[in-house]
Amino acid sequence: MVSTGYCLNETCLKLQADNVPEGRRASAFGILSGIASSAFVCGNLSTRFLSTASTFQVSASAAIASLVYMRVFLQDSIIDEQLTAPILTSTGKPKGKGKAYATNEIPSKNGKTFKSAPSMEDMLCLLKSSVTLSQAAVVAFFYSLAEVGLHASLMYYLKARFHFNKDQFADMMVISGIAGTISQVVLMPILAPALGEARLLAVGLFFTCVHVFLYSIAWTFWVPYVAAMFSVLFVFSQPCMRSIVSKQVGSCEQGKAQGCISGISSFANVISPLIFSPLTALFLSERAPFHFPGFSIMCVGFASMIAFIQSLMIRITPPIANEKVCGSNYVDA
């Protein structure tokens, strides 16, 4: 189910990148994320009125409905192969600086076409093709490491610290979802053109650090609710990062670039609970080396701080328009 969700997410991102001008792409990604946040809120609210068995049935029906809608109404973008040129040669070495086909040139017959699923070598070539893309990958890794680490630890921490139950935890998620939806749909289309994706990414990651650290030092039961409201600002991170990535590759490489970032995020999603769940259990037990119940949450904050520091180093380079990375999975046309 998770892998299917990632595939649908990358498909939507690719379609948006192919059909939205670069200047409006961050706003478009933000609106898409806002719609997803509103669906998250509706899903949480609906569970209050559905039985456990009905919840799974409704979830399955909604997933089938989205699949049918995508199959019937969404069409993959048509890419004009005459407007593309390879960034790398088939050996993985970059081509000469500034050598890219103009929009009115026709590539030679020695051009490359994609023939199979990209390999790890292709992904590495893609990341090496742009410093900005490599930096975004580092940000994605530590951001996902922190995000999943927080989700894996927070419920146990709040239950042990303030005796939260599932309804209170659901209320926090609804508050966070509503605040994030309003921010992404209303504020992001205004702030993204004014500040730019890189600055807005740094702002989002900064407030991610603040809200995680606030959880870790929460001194009373209402502090987590205040921390949840910081989603008004930290939700900017993901759309801005995706927009930066989309501008570093050509139209033929949108799916591969977004999939690469999602793959890195998925790897972080796997290892994060393995790190933070045992750490949370240790510091919530009597075997803790020192008394600090929120220590594991603070460590999550340090991971998000690494992502924030890396985001400050990102300098947006001119986009590689209408180009594509070639690797061992490309053959002569």
Instruction: Give residue-wise pLDDT tens across range 206-216.
Output: 999 999 999 99
What residue has token string 């139950």? 165
- Which pLDDT band, with edges at 50, 70 and 90, does 293 fall under? very high
What does the pLDDT look like over 65-99, one tens digit per residue? 888 887 887 776 554 444 344 444 444 444 444 43
The residue that leads in pLDDT, 321 or 40, is 40
pTM for the whole structure:
0.73
d(CA 149, CA 161): 18
> Tokens representing 296?
């594991």
pLDDT greater than 80 at residue 320 = no
- C-alpha angle 41/45/46, rounded to 5°? 115
> Would you tell me the crossing angle of helices 254-283 and 131-162 to the nearest 10 degrees?
30
Percent of the chain with pLDDT over 90: 30
CA of 162: how far to CAs of 134, 219, 299, in Å? 41, 9, 20
β-bridge pairing 85-86 and 323-324? parallel
| Beta bridge pairs of residue 112 | 332
pLDDT, averaged across the chain? 77
Yes or no: say if 223 and 253 are a contact pair by the CB < 8 Å rule. no
Cα angle, residue 101 at apex, residues 96 and 102 outer, rounded to 5°: 130
Token pair of 300 as six digits: 């999550």
Averaged pLDDT for residues 33-48: 78
Cα 269 to Cα 205: distance, rounded to the nearest angstrom: 18
Q: Is 93 exposed, middle or buried (0-12, 13-18, 19+ CB in 10 A)?
A: exposed
Sequence-distant (6+) residues with CB within 8 A of 259 are 10
- The per-residue pLDDT for range 112-138, each reduced to its tens digit, is 444 455 667 777 787 887 888 899 999
| Higher-scoring residue by pLDDT: 13, 143 | 143
Return d(Cα 214, Cα 298) in angstroms, integer.
9
Q: Which amino acid is at 310?
A: Q
Q: Cα(201)–Cα(192) distance, rounded to whole angstroms?
A: 10
Letter for the amino acid at 333? A
Taking the CA atoms of 199, 204, 205 and 211 in sequence, report the sign of the dihedral they define: positive
What per-residue confidence (pLDDT) applies to 80? 45
Two structure tokens written together for 184? 């992404």
pLDDT band at 12 (very low <50, low <70, confident <90, very high): low
What is the Cα–Cα distance from 129 to 256, expressed in whole angstroms?
13
C-alpha pair distances (Å), 88 with each of 112, 128, 136, 326, 328? 10, 10, 20, 5, 11
Positive or negative, the CA dihedral 286, 290, 294, 297 is negative
CB 134 within 8 A of CB 264: no
Tell me, what amino acid is at 80?
D
What DSSP character marks residue 330? E
Cα gap 176→207, rounded to integer Å: 13
Residue 272: band (very low, low, confident or very high) from pLDDT cuts 50, 70, 90? very high
pLDDT of residue 273: 93
Contact assessment for residue 29 and residue 16, using Cβ atoms and an 8 Å cutoff: yes
pLDDT attached to residue 81: 43
- pLDDT tens-digit series, residues 214-269: 999 999 999 999 998 888 888 888 888 888 888 888 777 777 888 889 889 999 99
